[in-house]
Structure 1
Amino acid sequence: MRKIFTALLSVSFLITPIAFASEASAAEHRRPIIVEKKVVVHKYRWTKGHRMTAAERRHMAEVRDYRRHRLSAPPRGYRWVRVDNEFLLIGVTSGIVSSIIAAR
């Protein structure tokens, strides 16, 4: 009885590292793949009167210091945004482009 118990104990000591090694290698293969989502606005020719979607408006840089870029003060309900190399004056609620100025 003592020999069987000793044999089982030694086998368990030998098999345990092998079992954990196979679980660790399986865990490495199951790593989640993280994909970053980026929304890029691809509109190369903006036109006056174009209605921008909410997604397009969210991903544009608002120009708060318009005097630095030699822009006039936006009327009430409008704001300046910069897209690529152009400044657009768009309506805050409607998203309609009312003016386009090329940046220097």
Structure 2
Amino acid sequence: MKKFFSILLAATVLAAPMAQAQSRHDDRPGNRTMERSVTTKKVIIKKHRWDRGQRLSAAERRHVIDRRDYRRHSLREPGRGQRWVRVDNQYLLINVANGIIIGLSGAR
């Protein structure tokens, strides 16, 4: 009898942690709720409004249209010392010497 109770006591002591360690099956995919949030960022690109008499910087004057290519863009022939430049999807007729805008034309 004493041997029986000692075996029963040992089995109870060994079985108790295993009973507590059992999972409750909460990790099933059907029981989980996932929330997804999408964050959108609004990007605003400010474009410069060009007018006659303004000066273009040297960096903006580098976008020169080929001398023979102005007809392809439906632009008039530039005069002596003038050049067509494309900036911000606009064609600007500038003076080569100082970069002052002489004329404007929208891109087509």
TM-score grouping bracket, smaller chain normalisation: 0.5 to 0.7
1:40-59 to structure 2, matched below 5 A, reads 44-58=48-62
Q: Which residue of 2 aligns with 1:89?
A: 93
Structure 1 or 2: more helix by fraction: 1
The unaligned stretches of length 5 or more in structure 1 are: 1-41
1:17-36 to structure 2, matched below 5 A, reads none
Q: CA RMSD in A?
A: 1.5
Equivalents in 2 of 1:100, 1:94: separation in Å?
A: 17
Q: Which residue of 2 aligns with 1:3?
A: none
Name the amino acid aligned to 1:71.
L
The unaligned stretches of length 5 or more in structure 2 are: 1-45
SS in 1 for 2:59: helix
Cα shift readout 1:1-30 (whole Å, capped 9, x = no counterpart): xxxxxxxxxxxxxxxxxxxxxxxxxxxxxx
Cα shift readout 1:58-78 (whole Å, capped 9, x = no counterpart): 3xx211100001111100000
Equivalents in 2 of 1:74, 1:100: separation in Å?
A: 12
Equivalents in 1 of 2:84, 2:65: separation in Å?
A: 5
Name the amino acid aligned to 1:63.
I
Equivalents in 2 of 1:43, 1:94: separation in Å?
A: 22
Shift of 1:53: 2.4
Q: Which residue of 1 aligns with 2:105?
A: 101
Task: Note closer, same or farther for the CA distance 1:47–1:96 as it changes in structure 2 (3 Å cut).
Answer: same
Equivalents in 1 of 2:64, 2:58: separation in Å?
A: 14
Size of the alignment, in residue pairs? 61
For 1:68, which of 64, 72, 82 is the aligned residue?
72
TM-score by length of 1: 0.53
Shift of 1:43: 5.1
